Structure 1
Amino acid sequence: MILPILNYPDKRLRTKAKHVDVIDGTTQTLIKDMFETMYAKDGIGLAATQVNQHLQVVVIDVPDSQNAYQLLLKNHQNSSHKQLQKHYPLCFINPKIKEKDGQEKHTEGCLSVPDFQAEVQRANHIKVEALNEKGEVFTLQATGLLAICIQHELDHLKGILFVDYLSKLKKKRLLEKTKKIIKG
């Protein structure tokens, strides 16, 4: 099912996500619906917070990024090998960045901030630990766009949006533009 996505400046996007204690049928359905929603909106990442589910759950699929990450533990496989040829769907539950280094500026967009992009500086190499959709612990090292996407989505779990990295002037202009669109 395609879920409605909260749009900036909705205050619910600022809610800190709660730790997932049990991965059950409800969690599995949320993950499935999040992937479906992300694909329907042509996104590459989606945090549960964006669909008004304030749990530490993130889904990501950065196409053709097989060389951008390296699984350190064998326990993470979200799809069949055939599907992994073009897409690399990843589910992160209770994710934590363990290491990060380097800096890279990258133009980011967000499904919760439609029709707006801005340059954000983030680490260009990260190591993240999480549970997959089966509740198995995995560790992943990511670089490039995948690393940027993971950091972007994990920010959502803390109530942080990529626009928070912008100058006050750019943020003010975005807010004014958004309010005009909302008023119609």
Structure 2
Amino acid sequence: MIREVITYPNKLLREKSKDVMKFDDELHTLLDDMYETMIAENGVGLAAIQVAIPLNILIINLPNEEDIQDKENLIEAINPVITQKDGTQVFVEGCLSVPGFNEEIKRAQHIVVEYLDRNGEKKTMEAEDFLAVAWQHEMEHLAGHLFIENLSIIKRKKFEKEWKRKLKEKR
């Protein structure tokens, strides 16, 4: 089932997500719904808080060389923790919760993440480049932050002004 993606400035996006304690059918349904929603919205990642569920859950599915998101490459991460970060990279990011806005964001180049899969089994993943960006972006959501908070003060003020104008135009 495709769920509604909440958008900025929805206050729920500022909420810190809680750890998952139960690995059951309800969790599996949420993960499946998140995947359907992410694909329907043309995203490469989605945190549960973006569908108004404040749990430490995220999914990532980067496109392959043919620009296809193969479900076999889907990452489902529950209660993820970055255990190591190094290097620096700048990447143009966008967000399903801040539609139509993209900006360069500075992130770690290489990370190591520990997380649980949908069955509660512990996993470790090393990521760099775009995959590392996706992990860090989605994990910010779990902490109650959005990528726009990484902008300089000048860029942030410009964003806020443009965003308010866009919201007025929608009304």
Q: TM-score range by the shorter chain?
A: over 0.9
- Using structure 2 for the length normalisation, give the TM-score: 0.92
Report the aligned-residue RMSD: 1.7
Superposed counterparts of 1:7-86, under 5 Å? 7-64=7-64
Q: The residue matched to 2:80 in structure 1 has which SS?
A: strand
> Which residue identity does 1:54 align to in structure 2?
P
Q: What's 1:144 paired with?
A: 129
> Which residue identity does 1:49 align to in structure 2?
I
Change (3 A) 1:86 1:179: same
Matched, 1:89 2:74: yes
Q: What's 1:153 paired with?
A: 138
Partners of 2:101 and 2:52 in 1: CA distance: 21
2:86–2:109 CA contact under 8 A, matched in 1: yes
Identify unmatched segments of 5+ residues in structure 1: 66-82
Change (3 A) 1:165 1:85: closer
Identify unmatched segments of 5+ residues in structure 2: none
2:61–2:71 CA contact under 8 A, matched in 1: no
Which of 91, 114, 129 is the equivalent residue of 1:106?
91
Can you list the C-alpha shifts for 1:64-93, whole angstroms capped at 9, x where unaligned? 28xxxxxxxxxxxxxxxxx99685100000
Equivalences, count: 167
User: Would you identify which runs of 4 or more consecutive aligned residues in structure 1 move more than 6 Å?
Assistant: 83-86
Change (3 A) 1:50 1:86: closer
Change (3 A) 1:179 1:139: same
Q: What's 1:74 paired with?
A: none
- Using structure 1 for the length normalisation, give the TM-score: 0.86
Can you list the C-alpha shifts for 1:148-176, whole angstroms capped at 9, x where unaligned? 00000000000111000001222222222
> Which residue identity does 1:13 align to in structure 2?
L
Partners of 1:127 and 1:93 in 2: CA distance: 15
Which of 82, 102, 119 is the equivalent residue of 1:134?
119
